[in-house]
């Protein structure tokens, strides 16, 4: 079992680290002018969670806000797209989908050092561990059902109808993702991993048949959801920086990795259901969870699940390698980032295991 208390490590806020500090006076002046009802004095803290885009809690006497910005420094191409994140949150909020209320996007880097967006703070709970310690079986079952219902609803939207035409290429999503993350992996590679080499060769030849083009979140999982304090209901889905148009089954199968995730003994921050008594906890088996999604959407990943899981474990390994690249380049935003290096090989091994099953 992991030695890290993820709930403790990633919950709440911390003082803002030097390189990521904001000019409070400049930001307060800007927001007072641009955001209706905004009035200082302003205090700024940084959320502990979040590996990629630095995310801040802004508090004023009357309200709380969340500011999310690009990290400073050298960045991988097409990463940290806070402008796209703001666009998708705005489109979904208009549909009554659970996201934070969007307030402002600012491309002017003189205000906060990099482009950022501002949303209202959503007060609720984040479960950093998929087994939800401290909860009870009935609540766990209901939270998992709400998580399933929420992604099913996301995948029911026709992108054109909600103003997201042109939000991504859509077709050949998995093939393009494999190509993109192979390149990103190469750009931030720090060691040779045999399984990653095999996957880079194997995956393009085993792409599942394309389904309908839908809006995909790209990083959907329990700890990217805010759950109501008084009910097992999803209030907001967070972290839309990887969202685009693509294959909903690739998106759905991404958060199925929790049922197979290799254990980590460090702050690598990769949570897992492996080794837990799911029935006793009230958490559905992966098979039952998949069945519920199929019933809700009519979309069915079951015939190609090993390929989708191989792809997703490969992709997460490449994403973590990108974080290690930022550690190397001095732009990582979390003190837990360096520990991610040791997770890349086990994730690649797990991906190759699923490739061999397929």
Residue 125 per-residue DSSP state: B
Average pLDDT over residues 160-172: 95
pLDDT per residue over 291-303, tens digit each? 999 999 999 999 9
CB-CB neighbours of 17 under 10 Å = 12
* Residue percentage of the chain with pLDDT more than 70: 88
Model pLDDT, residue 266:
54
Average pLDDT over residues 170-185: 94
Lowest mean pLDDT among 6-15, 94-103, 199-208, 301-310: 6-15
pLDDT per residue over 53-101, tens digit each? 889 999 999 999 999 998 876 655 555 689 999 999 999 999 999 999 9
Give me the domains of the chain, ranges plus CATH numbers. 6-120 (3.30.200.20), 137-357 (3.90.1200.10)
pTM for this model (two decimals): 0.89
pLDDT per residue over 148-162, tens digit each? 999 999 999 999 999
> According to DSSP H, which parts of 189-304 are helical?
194-202, 248-254, 278-281, 286-297
- Residue 1 banded pLDDT, cuts 50, 70, 90: very low
Taking Cα atoms as reference points, which of 296, 322, 172 lies closest to residue 241? 322
Taking Cα atoms as reference points, which of 298, 203, 313, 214 lies closest to residue 257? 313
Model pLDDT, residue 38:
97
């Amino acid at each position: 079992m992991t030695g890290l208390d993820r709930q403790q490590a990633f919950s709440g806020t911390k003082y803002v680290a030097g390189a990521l500090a904001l000019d409070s006076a400049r930001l307060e002046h800007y927001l007072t002018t641009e955001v209706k009802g905004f009035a200082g004095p302003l205090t700024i803290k940084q959320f502990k969670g979040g590996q990629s885009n630095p995310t801040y809690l802004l508090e004023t006497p009357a309200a709380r806000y969340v500011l999310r910005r690009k990290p400073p420094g050298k960045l991988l191409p097409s990463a940290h797209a806070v402008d796209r994140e703001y666009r998708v949150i705005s489109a979904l909020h208009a549909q009554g989908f659970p996201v934070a209320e969007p307030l402002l996007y600012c491309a002017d880097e003189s205000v906060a050092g990099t482009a950022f967006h501002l949303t209202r703070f959503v007060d609720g709970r984040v479960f950093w561990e998929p087994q939800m310690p401290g909860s009870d079986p009935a609540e766990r079952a209901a939270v998992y059902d709400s998580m399933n219902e929420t992604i099913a609803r996301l995948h029911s939207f026709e992108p054109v109808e909600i103003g997201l035409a042109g939000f991504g290429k859509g077709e050949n999503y998995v093939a393009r993702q494999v190509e993109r993350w192979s390149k990103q992996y190469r750009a931030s590679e720090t060691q040779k991993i045999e399984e990653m080499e095999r996957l880079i060769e194997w995956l393009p030849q085993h792409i599942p048949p394309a389904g309908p083009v839908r809006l995909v979140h790209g990083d959907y999982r329990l700890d990217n959801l805010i759950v109501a304090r008084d009910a097992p209901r999803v209030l907001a889905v967070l972290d839309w920086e990887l969202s685009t148009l693509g294959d909903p089954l690739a998106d759905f199968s991404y958060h199925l990795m929790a049922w197979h995730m290799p254990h980590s003994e460090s702050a690598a921050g990769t949570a897992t259901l492996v080794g837990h008594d799911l029935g006793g906890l009230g958490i559905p088996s992966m098979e039952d969870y998949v069945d519920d999604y199929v019933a809700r959407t009519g979309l069915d990943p079951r015939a190609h699940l090993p390929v989708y899981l191989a792809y997703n474990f490969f992709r997460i390994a490449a994403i973590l390698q990108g974080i290690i690249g930022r550690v190397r380049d001095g732009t990582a935003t979390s003190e837990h980032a360096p520990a991610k290096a040791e997770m890349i090989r086990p994730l690649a091994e797990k991906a190759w295991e699923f490739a061999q099953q397929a």
